[in-house]
Amino acid sequence: MIQKRRGFTLIELLVVIAIIAILAAILFPVFAQAKMAAKKTQVLSNVKQMGLAQLMYAADNDDLFSPIANFQDGWNLWSFVSLVEPYVKNFGIFMDPLGPAKPTDNPFVLNSQFAMPPRRAAVASCPGETDLTGCAMGAYNSAALTLTGGVPAGRDGVAGANKSLSGGWHHYIVDRYNGGVPSLSQSQISRVAETLLVTQANHFDMLWGSRSLTPDRAYRHWADAPFNLYGDMNMTCGPAARVNASGTKAGIWPTSVIDMTQFPEGMNVGVYADGHAVVRQWREMHSKFVDGPGGTKYIAYAAPLY
């Protein structure tokens, strides 16, 4: 007797498809979270390597961390990325897996994903330690005062600048800096575990050298896409917030917005002057202050001397 094989009924097929769809709906967010966790681990490892490279650089250079940039005539600029690369021997370390850039985009992208906070003394537009006006390392903009509880907070950094110019027209970034200002050493920094050394950012100096910006504003370096990693968008001038966030929650705004009305809700990866790397909420980074000269408040991660 020949036994007939029974196939699936339409109802059974639909039930199986529904079960697969439910499992996919449950698992896809888990996969996305796992992917983000892997990228977070990768960028944390990369930033740790940058911190170790800075420590090795300092060991070879009178205990001083690298300058933020070594300017030369015309458009020549060697950023801290180029200065410490021999200690990691891998430019891929400076590519942020949470960012949109690829190594093939433009060589400048290596200068556009991580930053060193510059020293006030190295920034030509900063009037002084107690004067928080006139440069991007000065007070928060008025909207950001709601974030700090109404406290105008100054900033300082660890990175100096070398500048060798012989006259003529020069790249405007060069003109924002005083030459011959050395970086700090670990022994000069009051709170090495709280002082930011290298951080996720959108420009190698976070645009803190600008005369017209404040750290909480949104701006882009140039309109050219290789220099502006997010296309026709403005980005927060300061530590980035690319972990677990995108768009406005990461501090990325349309070019029509400069003074942000909503502050980043994402997290930042940075390495501190003692060499430890950590992932922190952007808002947490901006909630702790120390007393600077003359009773001036400085944000703690950018107050190496106080």
pLDDT digits (tens, 9 = 90+) for 151-208: 778 889 999 988 765 554 455 566 778 878 999 999 999 999 999 999 999 888 888 8
Q: Which domain holds residue 63?
A: 11-302
Judge whether residue 88 has pLDDT over 80.
Answer: yes
Does residue 6 lie within any of the structural domains? Answer: no
Does residue 3 lie within any of the structural domains? Answer: no
Does residue 141 lie within any of the structural domains? Answer: yes
- Average pLDDT over the chain, rounded to an integer: 83
Does residue 5 lie within any of the structural domains? Answer: no
Does residue 120 lie within any of the structural domains? Answer: yes
Q: Output the pLDDT for position 107.
A: 73
Is 98 in contact with 110 (CB distance < 8 Å)? Answer: no
Number of domains in the chain: 1
Task: In whole angstroms, give the CA distance from residue 188 to residue 204.
Answer: 23
Exposed, middle or buried: residue 250 (CB in 10 Å: 0-12, 13-18, 19+)? buried
Does residue 1 lie within any of the structural domains? Answer: no
Mean pLDDT of 49-55: 96
Q: Strand 69-71 to strand 161-163: parallel, antiparallel, or no bridges (unpaired)?
A: parallel
User: Half-sphere exposure (CA, 13 Å, Cβ side) for 46?
Assistant: 22
Mean pLDDT of 105-123: 86
Does residue 4 lie within any of the structural domains? Answer: no
Phi and psi at residue 186, to the nearest 5°: -60, -40
pLDDT digits (tens, 9 = 90+) for 217-270: 888 876 666 677 788 888 888 899 999 998 999 999 988 888 777 889 999 999
Does residue 40 lie within any of the structural domains? Answer: yes
Question: pTM (2 decimals)?
Answer: 0.85
Task: In whole angstroms, give the CA distance from residue 39 to residue 32.
Answer: 11
